C-alpha cells in the first residue's frame, strides 16, 4: 500500500476511535467501566500512531548502512 493510502486509512480509523471514545464518555454512567473503556480506547489509538507515524518498530531493527 502506498503511504498516502495508509495515512488516509489511519486518519479515518482514528476518527472512528475518537467517535467511539466520545460516545463512551457521554453515555456510560458507571465511572470505573467508563475509565476502563476509555483507557483501552486510548491505547487502541496510541498503538497505530506510534507504529505508522512515529515508526516505533524501527527502534528494534538493526542499523542499515
What does 33-58 look like in DSSP terms, one character per residue?
HHHHHHHHHHHHHHHHIIIIIS-GGG
pLDDT in tens, the chain (65 residues): 777 898 899 999 999 999 999 999 999 999 999 999 999 999 999 998 898 888 888 888 877 76
Per-state percent for the chain, helix, strand, coil, to nearest 5: 80, 0, 20
Cell of 39: 483507557
pTM above 0.95, yes or no: no
Amino acid at each position: 500500500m502506498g503511504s498516502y493510502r495508509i495515512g488516509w486509512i489511519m486518519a479515518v480509523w482514528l476518527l472512528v476511535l475518537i467517535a467511539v471514545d466520545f460516545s463512551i464518555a457521554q453515555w456510560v454512567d458507571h465511572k470505573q467501566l467508563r475509565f476502563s473503556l476509555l483507557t483501552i480506547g486510548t491505547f487502541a489509538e496510541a498503538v497505530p500512531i506510534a507504529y505508522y507515524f512515529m515508526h516505533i518498530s524501527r527502534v528494534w531493527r538493526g542499523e542499515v548502512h
